[in-house]
């Protein structure tokens, strides 16, 4: 039995195209492996606060020394990290906004990147603590950016996931969604074919 953590980062929640592609893939996986389960983390419906000096201090304060307010802030981060630890597979719906990742996803990353929890420092450099998991990223863009210098997302997502130990990352792109109905339908059809292949 697998646990799949689906993270939607579209402003449109489950109605976003990246969310729909992610859901389509997860649905196929659940049908393929009965008994598996999905954890859904929707960053539009349940937004996280952006990292502040106070919140960062709460993360780095030893547990026994935290104030009640700090304990509440850390508890939110702990819950997100617990979801990641439970997951065998991470499925990320990733739209592109203004050439970057959604700010809600950056806030999520800031909550789960914690020394001693998802990575640790060693004399040889940081080591991720969430190895053994696979990630699928469903990236939707209004224009065409994959493979060009304007694609700021792909390397960043790979770098961040690798930092916490997730090195097996596969991208499915649906690009040109704002370039006319014909291009939009063709891009979504191609992404759907990739999902079918991945689910086989």
Bridge-partner residues for 89, per DSSP? Answer: 4, 134
Longest Cα–Cα distance in the chain = 59
Give the β-pairing of 168-174 and 3-8.
unpaired
CA dist., res. 113 & res. 131, Å (int): 14
Cβ density class 66-75: b for 16+ within 10 Å, e for less = beeebeebbe
Burial class (CB in 10 A: 0-12, 13-18, 19+), 108: buried
Report pLDDT for 199.
81
Report pLDDT for 87.
98
Walk me through the domains of the chain, giving residue ranges and CATH numbers.
3-199 (3.40.50.360)
φ/ψ of residue 82, rounded to 5: -60, -40
Report pLDDT for 11.
97
Report pLDDT for 200.
75
Report pLDDT for 18.
98
CA dist., res. 88 & res. 131, Å (int): 10
Nearest in space to 119 (alpha carbons), one of 88, 166, 165: 165
DSSP-derived secondary structure for 59-91: HHS-GGG--HHHHHHHHHHHHHHHHHHH-SEEE
CA dist., res. 53 & res. 38, Å (int): 33
Q: Whole-model pTM? A: 0.96
Per-position pLDDT tens, the chain of length 200: 899 999 999 999 999 999 999 999 999 999 999 999 999 999 999 999 999 999 999 999 999 999 999 999 999 999 999 999 999 999 999 999 999 999 999 999 999 999 999 999 999 999 999 999 999 999 999 999 999 999 999 999 999 999 999 999 999 999 999 999 999 999 999 999 999 999 87
Q: State how far the alpha carbon of 51 is from the alpha carbons of 31, 79, 103, 187, in Å.
A: 37, 16, 11, 35
């Amino acid at each position: 039995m697998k646990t799949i953590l689906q993270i939607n980062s579209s402003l449109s929640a489950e109605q976003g195209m990246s969310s729909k592609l992610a859901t389509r893939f997860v649905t196929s996986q659940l049908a393929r492996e009965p008994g598996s389960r999905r954890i859904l983390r929707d960053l539009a419906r349940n937004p996280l606060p952006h990292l502040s000096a106070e919140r960062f201090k709460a993360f780095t304060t030893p547990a026994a020394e935290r104030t009640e307010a700090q304990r509440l802030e850390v508890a939110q981060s702990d819950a997100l990290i617990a979801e990641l630890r439970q997951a065998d597979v991470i499925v990320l719906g990733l739209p592109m906004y203004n050439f970057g990742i959604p700010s809600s996803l950056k806030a999520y990353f800031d909550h789960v990147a914690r020394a001693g929890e998802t990575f640790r420092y060693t004399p040889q450099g940081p080591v991720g603590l969430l190895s053994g998991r696979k990630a699928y990223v469903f990236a939707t863009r209004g224009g065409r950016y994959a493979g060009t210098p304007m694609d700021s997302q792909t390397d960043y997502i790979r770098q961040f996931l690798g930092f916490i130990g997730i090195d097996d990352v596969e991208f499915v792109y649906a690009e040109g969604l704002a370039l006319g109905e014909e291009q939009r339908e063709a891009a979504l059809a191609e992404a759907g074919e990739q999902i079918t292949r991945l689910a086989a």
